[in-house]
């Protein structure tokens, strides 16, 4: 947690530079940012995983089609 940022916000509030509601809003934003960093949530990572799965499925389908075509060619002679 960024204690220094919270302390600076508190000092600004105590000096009357920012209001209590501004202090609360900024504090909430700091804590939310910290929570996001802590959870390390990255929506792009799910997109990449899904993309890789789709590529694997497509390659598997193409490989199976090639194998079937090769077997048919051998049967025909």
The pLDDT tens digits of the residues spanning 45-76 come to 788 889 999 999 999 999 999 999 888 888 88
pLDDT band (50, 70, 90) for residue 5: confident
Q: Kindly list the domain boundaries of the chain, sorted by start residue.
A: 1-41, 42-77
Number of residues written out for the chain: 77
60 vs 77: which has the higher pLDDT: 60
Percent pLDDT > 70 in the chain is: 87
Distance CA 54, CA 36 (A): 29
Distance CA 77, CA 75 (A): 5
pLDDT, averaged across the chain = 86
pLDDT at residue 24, rounded to an integer = 93
């Amino acid at each position: 947690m960024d204690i220094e940022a919270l302390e600076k916000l508190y000092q600004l509030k105590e000096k009357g530079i920012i209001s209590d509601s501004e202090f609360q809003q900024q504090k909430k934003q700091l804590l939310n940012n910290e929570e996001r960093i802590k959870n390390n949530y990255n929506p792009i990572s799910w997109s990449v995983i899904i993309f890789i799965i789709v590529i694997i499925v497509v390659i598997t389908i193409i490989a199976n089609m090639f194998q079937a075509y090769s077997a048919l060619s051998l049967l025909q002679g």
